[in-house]
Amino acid sequence: MKTQGEIEAAVCDAMRRFEQEYIGRGPKDVHSYLAGDLLMVRLRGVLTAAEQHLVKTLPSDKGRQLLKQVRYQLIETARPVMEAMIYEVTGVEVLSLHHDISTNTGEEVVIFALTKSPLFRETKKR
C-alpha cells in the first residue's frame, strides 16, 4: 500500500505524461494534493508557444475563449484515459472531473472527485 505522498507523486508523474502525450508539451511544474475524496492537480507552464501567440494576437477575449474551448474539448475527449490513469494510481473510481486553465499565467487546474477516499498507509512520525 502506498503512502499519501507516494500517491500524490504518482499522480504528478501520470499527469505530466498525459500532458506530454495529449497536448504535445509537458508542464514545467506539477503538484497534486489528496484531501479526502478530492484529488487536486495544479500544473504550471502548460501553454504551448502557439497557444501563447494565439492569446496575444487575437482581439480581446477571442483568443482566451478559443483556447479554453480547445482545451475543454481535449480534456473531454481524453476523459476516459484520465479517469483510468487516476484509478490505476489510487485504486478508486473517478466520480467527476473539473478543469480550468488560465491564459494569463499558463496554469491549469484539474480536480477529480473520487467515489471514496483512497486507502493509504500512514507515514511513520520521527
pLDDT tens for the chain, residues 1 to 126: 899 999 999 999 999 999 999 888 889 999 999 999 999 999 999 998 888 888 888 876 888 888 899 999 999 999 999 999 999 999 999 999 999 999 889 999 999 999 999 999 987 776
Q: Is the pTM of this model over 0.85?
A: yes
> Helix, strand or coil for residue 116?
coil
Query: CA 40, CA 26: separation in Å to the nearest integer?
Result: 18
Per-residue three-class SS string for 65-96? HHHHHHHHHHHHHCHHHHHHHHHHHHCCCEEE
pLDDT at position 122 is 86
pLDDT at position 104 is 87
pLDDT at position 17 is 95
